[in-house]
Structures are given as C-alpha cells and as structure tokens.
Amino acid sequence: MLSDLRKTNERTLPTDALVHQCINGDRDAMAQLYERCSGRVYALMVRIVGRQDADDAMQLAFLQIFRKLDRFGGNSSLETWIYRVATNEALQLLRRRKRDTADTFSLEPETNVSPSGLRLEDAEMLQTGLAAIEPQLRAILTLREVQELSYAEIAEVMDIPEGTVGSRLNRARRELRSELERLGWG
C-alpha cells in the first residue's frame, strides 16, 4: 500500500522536485522524466535524423539530458531545455554520420493514412522533402509545425535570435515547398 502511494506521488512530482531527484541519481525520477518526455523527443528525432537513426539519437539525447540536468537553471520550461539538448544531439549525430540530406525516412504506418491524416504516399513524399532540406532548417520547421513550440521557445532551443527563427522558418517552408514541387506534389 505504501509503495503504491509512493508511486502515485512520484507521478505527480512538480518539475523542480523531479529535476532535483534526477540530479541526485533517483532512478525512479529518471524513469518518470523519460516517460514524460520520450514520446515527443522521439517524434522530434524521427523528423530530424529519420526513423532509422531515431532510437540511437534519442538514446544519446537522454544520456546528455541526464548528464547535464544539473545545468538546467529553470530560465525556461524543462521541456524547452530538453528539446534544446535533444536537437543538438540530433544535429551532432547527423554531422558525425555525414548523412546525405537527400536520404528518405522510412515510415512504419499501420494503415494507408499517416498519424497526421495524410495518405501514405503524401506522407512519404513529405518525409522525402523534409529529408532534402538542411538539418537545422528541418529542426526549426519540426519544432514549430510538429512540436508546436513558439518562436521564443525555438530561439532558445536553437540558440538563435527570435527574429532569426522567423526568417529560417520561412526559408525552410520555401525549400520544402520547392522540394515537394520537384517531387511532383500537387
């Protein structure tokens, strides 16, 4: 009974307490933080590095998150800070592997409709188009359109001025549109 109560309390820990427990090596707190954020971090990784490398990128990201958690100052939300660490890890993985940015991402759909409601063919074309734009632009576009972060949050994640977010987001959209047109999207 007491262990059930403890688990219930751990699930509702405020962010600052959770961070503190993680820093102190509490594996239950680490598991809770991982469970809280892993789905969205994985989705981010799929869009930045592709499904084939998303597991590796996510593993590297969470290793860095737990190593650097003592540096989280609370100046932003924990999720924004986690996106920053994860995005940096994804971009470093791409640099280390010197991936060809024109590689296509593999999808694992269970139906002919993707989770976003696109037909499978359109979803694959969209992923191919995304893969063709440079990784930093892809990251900014993903953070805005998929993760729904604000310009201010994206600026913090990418460590760029907020005005730069808008211009790079516009550039990413233009390049994606151009790539999709080249692929025959219509």
Q: How many CA atoms lie within 13 A of 136 on its CB side?
A: 11
The pLDDT assigned to 163 comes to 92
Q: Tens of pLDDT along 162-178? A: 999 999 999 999 999 99
The pLDDT assigned to 183 comes to 83
Q: Tens of pLDDT along 140-155? A: 999 998 888 999 999 9
With the CA atoms of 118, 120, 49 and 31 taken in that order, what torsion angle do they form, in degrees rounded to the nearest 10? 70
**Two tokens at 78?**
């924990």
Separation CA 8–CA 133 (nearest Å)? 44
Of the candidates 60, 88, 70, which has an alpha carbon nearest to the alpha carbon of residue 22?
70
Q: DSSP readout, 67-99? A: HHGGG--SSS-HHHHHHHHHHHHHHHHHHHHT-
Of the candidates 161, 163, 142, 178, which has an alpha carbon nearest to the alpha carbon of residue 57?
142
Q: Tens of pLDDT along 68-122? A: 999 998 888 999 999 999 999 999 888 887 644 444 444 443 334 444 555 667 7
Q: Which fold is adopted by the domain 7-183?
A: Rna Polymerase Sigma Factor; Chain: A (1.10.1740)
Separation CA 118–CA 21 (nearest Å)? 41
The pLDDT assigned to 90 comes to 92
Inter-residue long-range contacts of 68-75, CB under 8 Å, 24+ positions, other chains counted: 69/19, 69/22, 69/23, 70/23, 72/19, 74/16
Separation CA 108–CA 121 (nearest Å)? 12
Q: Tens of pLDDT along 19-30? A: 999 999 999 999
